Amino acid sequence: MQYRFIGEPMPVVECLLESGEAMKTESGSMVWMSSNMQMLTSTDGGVGKAFGRMFSGESFFLNTYTAQAGQGYIAFGSSFTGSIRAIQITPDHPVIAQKTAFLASEMGVEIGVYFQKNLGAGIFGGEGFIMQKFSGSGMVFMEIDGIAVDRDLAPGESLVVTTGNLVMIDTSCTFDIVQVPGLKNKLLGGEGLFNTIITGPGHVILQTITIPRVVNALRPYLPTSS
**Considering the domain boundaries, does residue 223 fall inside one?**
no
Mean pLDDT of 10-16: 95
For residue 49, the model assigns a pLDDT of 56
**Considering the domain boundaries, does residue 224 fall inside one?**
no
**Considering the domain boundaries, does residue 226 fall inside one?**
no
**Considering the domain boundaries, does residue 222 fall inside one?**
no
What domain range is 162 assigned to?
2-217
When pLDDT is cut at 50, 70 and 90, the band that residue 120 belongs to is low
Other beta carbons within 10 angstroms of residue 88's beta carbon come to 12
| Report for 118-132, 168-182, 184-198: range of highest mean pLDDT | 168-182
**Considering the domain boundaries, does residue 195 fall inside one?**
yes
Asked if the model's pLDDT at residue 209 lies above 60, the reply is yes
198: domain CATH number is 3.60.160.10
**Considering the domain boundaries, does residue 125 fall inside one?**
yes
The structure's pTM equals 0.83
Number of domains in the chain: 1
**Considering the domain boundaries, does residue 117 fall inside one?**
yes
The residue ranking higher by pLDDT, 215 or 206, is 206
**Considering the domain boundaries, does residue 115 fall inside one?**
yes
Mean pLDDT of 95-101: 88
CB 199 within 8 A of CB 171: no
CB 98 within 8 A of CB 134: no
